[in-house]
Structure 1
Amino acid sequence: MKTDVWFLVLPGTLALDMIGPAETLGLASDAFTLHYIGPEPEVSTSIGLTMGGIGPLPEHLPKKSLLVLSGVSDSTRYFDTPQAVEARRWLGRQLAAIQRGDIQLVCVCSGSLLAARSGLLHGVECTTHHDVITRLKAAEPNAIVREGRIFVEDRGIWTSAGITSGIDLSLHLINQLHGPQLALDVAREMVVWFRRSGEDPQLSPWLRYRNHMHPAVHKAQDLLSGSPESEWRLPEIAARVFVSPRHLSRLFQQHLGISVRDYLEQLRLAQAEQRLLQGQGVEQASHAAGFSSPRQLYRARQRAS
């Protein structure tokens, strides 16, 4: 039986927040039927593209539906338009169905803020994009806001960090509703080889240590992140970026606050965890990520905790 998915579309919708999940679920076409609804039949999105064919807001949604609230390019503006006010009132009327579990709510990025302002997140564990966390707490002081999470679920209400995390959440929902094989097939079709889980940090090791301007360190990071499973030695890395091993070690401590070895271990740990999520065994995942054994992976986990 197909699952009906209803995307609430408002002016200023952040295109990838909506299109990412829509394409992901749409690739599982035998499992989902997609609908687009909103106060207006045509809206302009964050990239200037006009979206049309938007259906009116139905009074009730069918049971077992997914209702998706995408983020907008400027939530301080677009969640206060007349269309957003109408949408908030409509969402308030869906609260009882959400609380009964008749429909599941899915919020991408600042869509959580719209849900909060509609009265849907009272007492609910949730998250959002890290730039919107403070405003989410202010919009619903009784929400249990989790920071630094990719997505969170609480009693059929799903909230996610934003943009590409909507794809992660969509793959997770496919897995939950229609099984891991379909989720894996869709991920492969999209060339999304590593699915993030809800427990993963919003800023992965691939992004967390990139807020600096030193070209040699960036080059070294590019080498390591491109092939973390390789048997890297400090002299080899240093030679590839044209500095001495001692100087490269100093640069990593100065600009990243960690050693080259620790940075590489974090990359390997992230890769191993993703392979485990894909269903690989611990020994296979350990070796594929560059660890010599599952025991070495376990020790890396302990150091990271």
Structure 2
Amino acid sequence: MQAQAPLRIPVFVVVPPRALLLDLAGPMEVLRKTNLEQASVHFDVTYIGPSPDVASSIGLCLSGIAPLPARLPDDALVIISGAVDEPLGSAVREEAEDGPLEAAIVAWLRRGIRPGMRLATICSGALLAAQAGLLDGRECTTHHAAIAELKRLAPLAKLRENRLYVEDGDRLTSAGITSGIDLMLYIVAREVGHATALSVARYLVVYLRRGGSDPQLSPWLEGRNHIHPAIHRAQDLVAAEPARDWSVAQLASAAGASPRNLSRLFNEHAQMSVTEYVNRIRIALARELVTDSRLDMESVAERTGFSSARQFRRAWRRLHDTAPSQERLSTRKA
């Protein structure tokens, strides 16, 4: 049987003058590793900009940058990375040289980003999107050092400070630097799945946060701040299929441990029992269904591996102060 061709997502990364290298390298390493981890989705990355060569924030020259395309495909994901005032080892910023290049990016964004096309900004990349009018009326964020400038450039935007990243429809903005990695992991989780995002996060040795507004560790990575391979194998299986009827014996067999030893290892390294870990992952998935769908609670329970809505609500109450229905209502009001 012939393997199914992967879904290909065209990604266009806008490289500005004085590009902050970590804004580019961090998120793109997420996509590179994602392409290697699985075969169902492939991110086709193209670096574009008004100049074929730019000096990066650390003084390293970036070359081979393609011109800004005349037209983008409808399914494109456009990413605008940030810039720095003065690259490492450089002279004072060349305003006369960089100004026209930034203006070319803004003009291209204004005519090239069509309604429904996804746009993600990293760090001060939000300032270029703001100048193009692409953040008007949208919730957004940027690096804390650029907040005041973003307010000035986008007075109609709904600025959110002290956030890792913000999603408002087809606009995604991040605080930049390392939070660009958080944003890209979030996109990977949406497009490919949590199991792949978890694997990539672990490879990069970073925390995977559930949402930009949540300062706490994601339930998908909670209990994984360890390097024990047997537990990781069991946790990967649960993350890939949370609704499956996992028993300690099944997970122990897959992890290459006895049920008793796996239980001991979970308590020692994950700081929770196997059953508690499974329920936390199921509730994390259930919360997504509660807040992002109109499914009734019986359907949510069924899709997340609980035998009944009553069992689901009991497990929910152990982790949340409000009922699932209240969570759905408060999320929609926000």
Deviation, structure 1 residue 193: 3.8
SS of the aligned residue for 1:6 comes to strand
SS of the aligned residue for 2:190 comes to helix
- The separation in 2 between residues aligned to 1:92 and 1:50, in whole angstroms, is 27
Q: Please name the residue that 2:33 is paired with.
A: 27
Match of 1:63 among 64, 67, 74: 74
- The separation in 1 between residues aligned to 2:195 and 2:281, in whole angstroms, is 19
Task: Give the AA of the match of 2:72.
Answer: L
Deviation, structure 1 residue 28: 1.3
Distance 1:284 1:57, change over 3 A: closer
Deviation, structure 1 residue 32: 0.6
Aligned: 1:85 with 2:84: no
Measured against aligned partners, the alpha-carbon deviations of 1:37-71 in whole angstroms (never above 9, x if no partner) come to 01111111000000111101101111211100011
Deviation, structure 1 residue 130: 1.4
Aligned: 1:121 with 2:135: yes
Deviation, structure 1 residue 85: 0.9
- The separation in 2 between residues aligned to 1:158 and 1:139, in whole angstroms, is 17
Match of 2:56 among 31, 35, 45: 45
Measured against aligned partners, the alpha-carbon deviations of 1:8-31 in whole angstroms (never above 9, x if no partner) come to 012201000111111111111242
Q: Please name the residue that 1:181 is paired with.
A: 195
SS of the aligned residue for 2:17 comes to coil
Match of 1:7 among 10, 13, 17: 13
Deviation, structure 1 residue 134: 1.2
Deviation, structure 1 residue 146: 0.8
5+ residue gaps, structure 2, are 1-6, 87-92, 218-224, 227-269, 272-276, 285-315, 322-334
Aligned residues, how many?
Answer: 218
- The separation in 2 between residues aligned to 1:157 and 1:191, in whole angstroms, is 27
Show the 5 A alignment for 1:1-305. Answer: 1-29=7-35, 30=39, 31-74=42-85, 81-95=99-113, 97=114, 99=115, 101=116, 103-195=117-209, 197-201=211-215, 281=280
SS of the aligned residue for 1:2 comes to strand
RMSD over aligned Cα atoms? 3.2
Measured against aligned partners, the alpha-carbon deviations of 1:142-178 in whole angstroms (never above 9, x if no partner) come to 0111111111111201000111110000000011112
SS of the aligned residue for 1:28 comes to helix
Distance 1:280 1:65, change over 3 A: farther
- The separation in 1 between residues aligned to 2:317 and 2:137, in whole angstroms, is 40
- The separation in 2 between residues aligned to 1:81 and 1:117, in whole angstroms, is 13
Distance 1:123 1:49, change over 3 A: same
Deviation, structure 1 residue 195: 2.8
CA contact (8 A) 1:150 1:196 kept: no
5+ residue gaps, structure 1, are 206-225, 228-270, 273-277, 286-293, 300-305
CA contact (8 A) 2:182 2:208 kept: no
Deviation, structure 1 residue 283: 11
Distance 1:43 1:147, change over 3 A: same
**With structure 1 as the length reference, what TM-score do the two structures score?**
0.64
Task: Give the AA of the match of 2:105.
Answer: A
- The separation in 2 between residues aligned to 1:124 and 1:19, in whole angstroms, is 27
